[in-house]
Amino acid sequence: MQVRVENVRKEFDTFPALHDVSLDIRSGELIALLGPSGSGKTTLLRLIAGLEQPTIGKIFFGDDDASERSIRERNVGFVFQHYALFRHMTVADNIGFGLKVRPSATRPPAEEIRRRASTLLDLVQLSGLEKRYPAQLSGGQRQRVALARAMAIEPKVLLLDEPFGALDAQVRRELRRWLREIHDATGHTTVFVTHDQEEALELADRVVVMSQGRIEQVGTADEVYDQPNSPFVYGFIGDSSSLPVKVEDGQVWLTDRPIGLAAPDAPAGPATLFFRPHDVELLDECAGCLAGTVASSRRVAGTKRVELEIGGHRERVEIELPVDHPAAQKSRIAFRPRKWKVFPSAAE
């Protein structure tokens, strides 16, 4: 089921949580809403589910205007961060709940409901736990039950609100891979909210980066990582270093000298230079490059990360060096970013 969000604005009292958001979700797609807290990602998800009503704007499921429909009629599967399982029901009853509450005309017979619950438990790899109560399950198992429960109603769209947020790192990684497999097997159009970029980049077909109630960029993991289209996305996705610069004559200048980066399309004036700390080229001598003295150095996994003080204002930037690089405190290092981008300062 294709989902279209059209110019949606949502205000809580008078506080705007979403400003004029539009988004097309393709049928069968696994899409991530990624952003820091307060970016409006959960609000957007709840609007799609019908748990909130938009102040302005419409949401379409296919050609059907879902804004007109109540949450019950929308037929969405929603998975909550804290599972929201029914404590007094067994696992099987939890999963079968959505079928049992159907009007008798469309309700499958009890035997069929039981069988469906059991099939879904196989799918989420919890076979044999039908008779357990949620209190007897681990966090990861509970979230799987919650997902099975959401899928039992054969939803048009599957919506997951920080589904792995309350789980520890190892279980998260495992469930992430497993969710991808389930998605590939069932083909539900799936939207999930996360603040974990690793999760979003690894899992989703497309990532929607959100900030302060707006969509900053929509794209594949490669697109948002390699071609960030705003300072926010550059800073939010992956590691980045930034430096205040200015653009003049199609060149990037650090205070009074060019640093050997040509930016013919950038508008002249003050700007911010972004680059990835690991994507730099070390230079021996410096005629038109960035150079600074080492302020601090730390070991991060397979590399060494140093903080350099650059220029008269002693701006600090981080770059990555090979572990065996002889850089010591106060030593001088010259480099030039391989991939970089300047954004005019006004844009920030």
Residue owning tokens 């959401």: 150
101: contact with other proteins by CB under 8 A: yes
Least CB distance to other proteins at residue 191 (A): 13
Retrieve residue 62's tokens.
């296919």
Q: Which is nearer to other proteins, 131 or 332 (CB)?
A: 131
CB of residue 309 to other proteins, shortest distance in Å: 49
The answer to the question of residue 133 lying near other proteins (CB under 8 A) is yes
Which residues is 274 bridged to in the sheet?
A: 242, 341
Q: Which is nearer to other proteins, 72 or 299 (CB)?
A: 72
Q: Please give the distance of CA 86 from its chain centroid, rounded to a whole number.
A: 28
Is there binding between residue 71 and other proteins (CB under 8 A)? yes
Closer by beta carbon to other proteins, 153 or else 291: 153
Of 1, 49, 121, 273, the one binding other proteins (CB under 8 A) is: 49
Of 145, 154, 156, 41, residue with least CA distance to 83: 145
Least distance CB 247 / other proteins (angstroms):
49
- Confirm or reject binding of residue 97 to other proteins (CB under 8 A): yes
- Our finding on whether 51 is near other proteins (CB under 8 A) is yes
Closest by Cα among 60, 62, 51, 66 to 28: 62
Token pair listed for 180: 């991808």
Q: Which stretch binds other proteins (CB under 8 A): 12-20, 44-52, 110-118, 175-183?
A: 44-52
User: Is residue 227 involved in binding other proteins (CB under 8 A)?
Assistant: no
Stretch near other proteins under the rule CB under 8 A, chosen from 58-66, 84-92, 122-130, 174-182: 84-92
75 binds other proteins (CB under 8 A): yes
The only residue of 20, 58, 153, 205 in contact with other proteins, by rule CB under 8 A = 153
Q: 330 exposed, middle or buried (CB, 10 Å; 0-12, 13-18, 19+)?
A: exposed
In this structure, the number of other CB atoms found within 10 A of the CB of residue 324 comes to 6
Place of tokens 């599967």: 77
Residue 346 Cβ vs other proteins, minimum distance, rounded to whole Å: 42
Cβ atoms of 246 and 265 within 8 Å: the answer is: no
Q: How far apart are CA 20 and CA 44, in angstroms?
A: 11
CB of 246 to other proteins, least distance (A): 50
C-alpha 126/C-alpha 72 separation (Å) is 27
Q: Which is nearer to other proteins, 149 or 172 (CB)?
A: 149
Residue 84 as a binder of other proteins (CB under 8 A): the answer is yes
Q: Is 72 in the site for other proteins (CB under 8 A)?
A: yes
In the complex with other proteins, which residue's Cβ is closer, 81 or 293? 81
Identify which range of 24-32, 67-75, 165-173, 236-244 contacts other proteins by CB under 8 A.
Answer: 67-75
Question: For the chain, where are the E strands, in sequence order?
Answer: 3-12, 15-25, 30-34, 56-61, 64-65, 76-79, 157-161, 189-194, 206-211, 214-219, 241-248, 251-254, 257-262, 269-275, 280-283, 290-300, 303-310, 315-321, 332-337, 340-344
Residue with tokens 């980049």: 201
- Give 24's DSSP letter: E
Assess contact for 186 and 154: CB atoms under 8 A: no
Based on the shown chain and the rule CB under 8 A, indicate whether residue 102 belongs to the binding site for other proteins.
yes
The residues that touch other proteins, with contacts defined as CB under 8 A, are 49-51, 71-72, 74-78, 80, 82, 84-89, 97-98, 101-102, 133-136, 146, 149-150, 153
